[in-house]
Structure 1
Amino acid sequence: MAEKIQHKDIVPESCLGKRFDQTIAEMFPEYSRSRLKEWILAGHVQVNGEVLTKAREKMYGGETISIETQVEAEERFKSQNIPLNIVYEDDDILVINKPAGLVVHPGAGNPDGTVLNALLHHCPQVDVVPRAGIVHRLDKDTTGLMVVAKTIAAQTNLVESLQAREITREYEAIASGIMTAGGIVDEPIGRHSTKRTHMAVTISGRPSVTHYRVMEKFRLHTRLRLRLETGRTHQIRVHMAHITHPLVGDPVYGGRPRPPKNATVELREVLKGFKRQALHAAMLSLFHPITGEQMTWHAEIPQDMVALTNILREDSKLNETPDF
């Protein structure tokens, strides 16, 4: 099974002096750099009607780049009958509510048993769509809404919408510490300098913006609603830890549990036993990539976060200072 790919576009003037491979990656972001490089080397990309296989060739702007190739079915990943909680589906997109513990994409330590493997089973036609239609990811232990493209055209438009910040993603979280008001964290995020599996706020990182507002305050914790402008790896977790309010249960950025003074044994046990970041993708809103219709979905807060919220709320009530 294969799908024919044809594209033609003009190199923008902003690419003056940039390498051919960098330029084509900017012009066609729906495809990975490695895939584009393969097409260049295979002679499937032309500049002004001539095949160009030199990735380092400099661009001037104004050239016509055309791609004509085929995307073969992805054979590296296998189809697996893994249940998906499908919130919405049509011929072009699929919206799922991902549970905790489910990895989105195969990688080191997780060769299968992922959302991608489940998608290949549920809708086999996504085997010709880059990354099986996955447009954005959620961390393994983050729950909530994800949109998946079922066609290359839908994925191209969704990627463009993400880059244009036209897709709204809101999250619920429970953070450590008392936060009195909402705000914005506008700090670049990149790979940690020494811990290569971690991300960090760093000058050399990519621009990253997180908006947050306080929904409920407890004695030593805060329930938040957050909205992403950008979508960096671990963005909310890194930004909240950066402002000294890491998410409850975060095994990487959270540190040890912080029960309030005179906390009950039950609350201490719940905080100690919460083994994932208390983070849930609660709302997703976008313009349909084919019809243009604005669509919005909501996902109920998962039971573990509801239980944590309830016990924090009860602790606050038990320790209220009486009015005289």
Structure 2
Amino acid sequence: MAEIIQHQETVPQSCLGKRLDQALAEMFPDYSRSRLKEWILAGNVKLDGKVVTKAREKVFGEETVEIDATIEAEVRFEPQDIPLNIVYEDDDILVINKPADFVVHPGAGNPDGTVLNALLHYCPELELIPRAGIVHRLDKDTTGLMVVAKTIAAQTNLVDALQAREITREYEAIASGIMTAGGTVDEPIGRHATKRTHMAVTMSGRPSVTHYRVMEKYRLHTRLRLRLETGRTHQIRVHMAHITHPLVGDPLYNGRPRPPKNATPKLLTFLRNFKRQALHAAMLSLYHPITGELMTWRADIPDDFVELVELLKEDTKLNSEQDY
């Protein structure tokens, strides 16, 4: 299944002197500039009846532009009947609350059983949207809110908003160690020099900014609220490890955690069996990509996170009583 795209429009005078791909981006905002450029290079665009294959071709206004292209379905991925926790849906977007142990996109080691496969089953028309409408990802074991676009126009606008830092994402986390105050980590992140599956703070990386504040302090841990200004792979996990406060349970960046001294047996057992990073996407706020309405969603922390918090509180209380 594929979607045939056919448009014929007149270039407005306001585009005088602009590159063809720039003019098309203004004329057809439902499509990303990269997609429009692909169509130009593939010979799918005509100016006054002549095929143009150079994105940098200048326009003067009043030319007739014709687009005749095809959007191929993503046939590589199979729909799978996997439940999704949908917290909001309309004709343009849906917002899901992702559980732990759920990969977002198929990849090495995870060819199926992903959020993308579940989306294709729930909403078959997403096969015509790149990445089945997925705008941003969460790590396999990070829980919480994700927005998915149901149309190309919605996806284009959401991706642009994400790049312009107009989508607000807040997380909750449990970090190792006692943090006295909030702050900001502004350090570039790139691929680790020797560990292929790891990211790292590196001067050759991309700009990355994480803001954090202290929600609650425990005896040897801290509960944080974090806000992403950028969205790099593993960003919160890498930044917290960089400032020597790795997330509890993080299998990649917490090294070999030492059992906290004098911890209650229940807490020690729980920490030994807590095999994921204690990180939850708790709040998502954005302007609706079609209506422009400001929308905000919140998701409560999952049960294992709740239990961790309660055990940390209990441990803090018992040890303070013993000290007294």
Q: How far, CA to CA, are the matches of 2:47 and 2:40 in structure 1?
A: 11
Aligned equivalent of 1:74 = 74
- For residues 202-241 of structure 1, the aligned pairs below 5 Å read 202-241=202-241
Cα-to-partner distance string for 1:239-281 (whole Å, 9 max, x where unaligned): 1011111100000011123333211222111111110000000
Closer, same or farther in 2 for the Cα pair 1:168/1:67, shift >3 Å? Answer: farther
Closer, same or farther in 2 for the Cα pair 1:184/1:222, shift >3 Å? Answer: same
Aligned equivalent of 2:314 = 314
Closer, same or farther in 2 for the Cα pair 1:61/1:300, shift >3 Å? Answer: farther
Q: How far, CA to CA, are the matches of 1:5 and 1:93 in structure 2?
A: 21
Aligned: 1:254 with 2:254: yes
Cα-to-partner distance string for 1:176-219 (whole Å, 9 max, x where unaligned): 11100000011111111111211111111111110000001111
Aligned equivalent of 1:84 = 84
What SS does the corresponding residue of 1:290 show, helix, strand or coil? coil
- Paired AA for residue 144 in structure 2: G
Q: How far, CA to CA, are the matches of 1:235 and 1:46 in structure 2?
A: 43
What SS does the corresponding residue of 1:252 show, helix, strand or coil? coil
Q: How far, CA to CA, are the matches of 1:12 and 1:257 in structure 2?
A: 60
- Paired AA for residue 217 in structure 1: K
Aligned equivalent of 1:297 = 297
Q: How far, CA to CA, are the matches of 1:111 and 1:51 in structure 2?
A: 39
- Paired AA for residue 141 in structure 1: D
What SS does the corresponding residue of 1:319 show, helix, strand or coil? helix
Closer, same or farther in 2 for the Cα pair 1:248/1:322, shift >3 Å? Answer: closer
Is this contact kept in 2: 1:187–1:207, CA < 8 A?
Answer: yes
What SS does the corresponding residue of 1:232 show, helix, strand or coil? coil
Q: How far, CA to CA, are the matches of 2:190 and 2:315 in structure 1?
A: 37
Q: How far, CA to CA, are the matches of 1:306 and 1:165 in structure 2?
A: 30
What SS does the corresponding residue of 1:244 show, helix, strand or coil? coil
Question: Once the 2 structures are TM-superposed, how far is the Cα of residue 93 of structure 1 from its aligned partner?
Answer: 0.3
Aligned equivalent of 2:140 = 140
Aligned equivalent of 1:121 = 121
Question: Once the 2 structures are TM-superposed, how far is the Cα of residue 74 of structure 1 from its aligned partner?
Answer: 1.5
Closer, same or farther in 2 for the Cα pair 1:29/1:61, shift >3 Å? Answer: farther
Greater mean deviation of Cα atoms: 222-231 or 38-47: 38-47
Unaligned runs of 5+ in 2: none
Aligned pair count? 314
Is this contact kept in 1: 2:31–2:153, CA < 8 A?
Answer: no
Q: How far, CA to CA, are the matches of 1:106 and 1:164 in structure 2?
A: 27
- Paired AA for residue 170 in structure 1: E
What SS does the corresponding residue of 1:320 show, helix, strand or coil? helix
Percent identity between the two aligned chains:
75
- Paired AA for residue 115 in structure 2: V
Aligned equivalent of 1:156 = 156
Is this contact kept in 2: 1:92–1:150, CA < 8 A?
Answer: yes
- For residues 146-185 of structure 1, the aligned pairs below 5 Å read 146-185=146-185
Q: How far, CA to CA, are the matches of 1:211 and 1:234 in structure 2?
A: 15
Aligned: 1:280 with 2:280: yes
Aligned: 1:189 with 2:189: yes
What SS does the corresponding residue of 2:297 show, helix, strand or coil? strand
Q: How far, CA to CA, are the matches of 2:83 and 2:243 in structure 1?
A: 37
Is this contact kept in 2: 1:47–1:63, CA < 8 A?
Answer: no
- For residues 41-80 of structure 1, the aligned pairs below 5 Å read 42-45=42-45, 51=51, 53=53, 59=56, 68-80=68-80
Aligned equivalent of 2:104 = 104
- Paired AA for residue 195 in structure 1: K
Q: How far, CA to CA, are the matches of 2:119 and 2:16 in structure 1?
A: 35
TM superposition score normalised by structure 2: 0.86
Is this contact kept in 1: 2:30–2:152, CA < 8 A?
Answer: no
TM superposition score normalised by structure 1: 0.86
In our comparison, the structure showing a higher alpha carbon Rg is: 2
- Paired AA for residue 204 in structure 2: S
Q: How far, CA to CA, are the matches of 2:224 and 2:59 in structure 1?
A: 47
Is this contact kept in 2: 1:143–1:281, CA < 8 A?
Answer: yes
Q: How far, CA to CA, are the matches of 1:11 and 1:262 in structure 2?
A: 73
Question: Once the 2 structures are TM-superposed, how far is the Cα of residue 43 of structure 1 from its aligned partner?
Answer: 1.8
